[in-house]
Amino acid sequence: MLRILNARLRQGHRTIGYPDAAPVLPDRFRGRPALHAARCETGCRICADVCPTQAVQRHGAGIAIDLGRCLFCADCAQACPTGAITFTGDHRLAARTRDDLVVRDEVRRLARALDDGSRRLFGRSLKLRQVSAGGCNACEADLNVLSTVVFDLSRFGIQFVASPRHADGLVVTGQVTSNMKTALLKTYEAVPPPKLVIAVGACAISGGPYIGHEACLDGAAACLPVDLFVPGCPPHPITILDGLLRLLGRLDGRAGEH
């Protein structure tokens, strides 16, 4: 026991300062894409053609990127001969509506907070049941990381629970395979109302690399009302945390805004 206590003293404080301090992300982190319309050549489709999920589309004289489909592989940015697409280090990706995930310009459509009544219910205590509806375990792993001492999700009153009957909502990962549809719907029905649904990762939002496959439903919204979309493949834990805190209205005036 003394050895354990000494080890803890040597390690010191491990929990990150976010959201009071700006997050520290690795240099290779790919966040929100930036579109430079002035560099986009008329008629060029190189970026759209190389995208594995058709996330990149022509938009008028420029382009648009659907973050709900985007795998953040950066194939589009690497293929573009004029540098019309770059990936920034902006971790703020979550949105309340599916359309808000489509990047067409420089305007950031960040996730809006719940209404006042819902925030009174969930703002200080939010229990979530996670459902893997066909995921590869990447998104699931980053959700699990949120409960470690580094991120300490429980300090915000947010916890993952084992039973949907003890939950305030669901966190869905995976493309929702046909075999998981019934299980997902039954889990949703077991959550007492009012309840939330959060889709985490490209698969849960759009089907990800499995878009259009006959064995999947292309995301949670095909059978459930989704309140928050968190894009990524997988999304960074900070991106997930940012989305949850925005949903609860907990980021006003914090350093995490920048």
Residue 189 lies in a domain: yes
Per-residue confidence (pLDDT) for residue 251, from 0 to 100: 87
Per-residue confidence (pLDDT) for residue 229, from 0 to 100: 98
Residue 88 lies in a domain: no
Give per-residue pLDDT as tens, 52-73. 999 999 877 789 999 999 999 9
DSSP 156: G
Query: 């319309």: which residue's tokens?
Result: 37
Which residues make beta-bridge pairs with 33?
87
Domain of 147: which CATH number?
3.40.50.12280
Residue 129 lies in a domain: yes
Is residue 139 packed enough to be buried (19+ CB in 10 Å), middle (13-18) or exposed (0-12)?
buried
Cut 0.75: pTM above it:
yes
Largest CA distance in the chain: 69
Residue 100 lies in a domain: no
Per-residue confidence (pLDDT) for residue 2, from 0 to 100: 84
Measured between alpha carbons, how far is residue 35 from residues 73, 85, 174 in Å?
A: 16, 5, 28
Structural domain count of the chain: 1
User: How many Cβ atoms from other residues are within 10 Å of residue 248's Cβ?
Assistant: 19
Range of the domain at 242: 116-257
How far apart are alpha carbons 227 and 184 in whole angstroms? 16
Give the SS3 label for residue 188. helix
Residue 75 lies in a domain: no
Residue 56 lies in a domain: no
User: How many Cβ atoms from other residues are within 10 Å of residue 105's Cβ?
Assistant: 11
Q: What are the start-end ranges of the H helices in the chain?
A: 2-11, 46-50, 75-79, 116-122, 138-145, 178-190, 202-206, 237-247
Q: How many helices (H) and strands (E) does the chain have?
A: 8, 10
Please report the DSSP string for 93-145 in residue order.
Answer: --BSSSGGGEE-SS---PPPPPPHHHHHHHSS-EEEEEEESS--SHHHHHHHH
Per-residue confidence (pLDDT) for residue 90, from 0 to 100: 96
Give per-residue pLDDT as tens, 172-212. 999 999 999 999 999 999 999 999 999 999 999 999 999 99
Q: What is the CA radius of gyration of the chain?
A: 19
Per-residue confidence (pLDDT) for residue 257, from 0 to 100: 59
Mean pLDDT by 10 residues, the chain (258 residues): 80 85 93 91 89 89 92 96 94 97 87 96 96 96 95 96 97 97 98 97 96 94 98 97 96 60
How many residues does the structure list for the chain? 258
Residues 6 or more apart whose Cβ sits within 8 Å of residue 188 = 164, 170, 195, 197, 224
Per-residue confidence (pLDDT) for residue 253, from 0 to 100: 54
Residue 70 lies in a domain: no
Residue 184 lies in a domain: yes
